[in-house]
Amino acid sequence: MQEALQRIDWAKSELLPVIVQDVANNEVLMMAYMDKEALELSLSSKIAHYFSRSKQRIWKKGESSGHIQKIHSFHIDCDNDTLLIKVTQEGVACHTGRRSCFFTELESGEVTSAVEVDTQASYGVIDTLYHTIQERKNADPKTSWTAKLFAKGENTILKKVVEEAGEYCFAHKDNDDAEMVYEAADLTYHMLVALASKNIAPDRIKQELARRFDMSGIAEKNARKD
Residue 18 maps to which CATH number?
Answer: 3.10.20.810
> Do residues 98 and 167 both lie within one domain?
no
Least confident residue range of 23-27, 96-100, 116-120? 116-120
Is residue 104 located within the same domain as residue 79?
A: yes
Residue 221 reports pLDDT greater than 60: no
Say if residues 95 and 151 touch (Cβ distance below 8 Å).
no
Same domain, 50 and 134: no
**226 pLDDT exceeds 60?**
no
Q: What is the pLDDT of residue 67?
A: 93
Overall number of domains in the chain: 2
Residue 220, pLDDT score: 54
| Confidence at residue 152, expressed as pLDDT on a 0 to 100 scale | 96
Last residue of a domain, one of 89, 121, 153: 121
Domain encompassing residue 213: 124-225
35 and 81 assigned to the same domain: yes
Say which amino acid occupies 192: L
> Rounded to whole angstroms, how far apart are CA atoms 100 and 61?
14
Last residue of a domain, one of 61, 91, 121: 121
Name the band, by pLDDT with cuts 50, 70 and 90, for residue 222: low
Q: Note whether 44 and 17 are same-domain residues.
A: yes
Cα separation values, 157 from 108, 150, 189, Å: 29, 7, 11
The model's pLDDT over 129-174, given as tens digits with 9 standing for 90+, comes to: 999 999 899 889 999 999 999 999 999 999 999 999 999 999 999 9
3-state helix, strand, coil in the chain (%, to 5): 45, 20, 40
Same domain, 153 and 203: yes
Mean pLDDT over each residue of the chain, to the nearest integer: 92
For residue 14, give Cα distances in angstroms to 2, 9, 34, 81, 198.
Answer: 16, 9, 8, 10, 21
**pTM confidence score:** 0.72
pLDDT for residue 27 is more than 70: yes
Q: What angle do CA 58, 63, 65 make, to 5 degrees?
A: 140
Whether residues 186 and 140 share a domain: the answer is yes
Please give the pLDDT value at position 215. 67
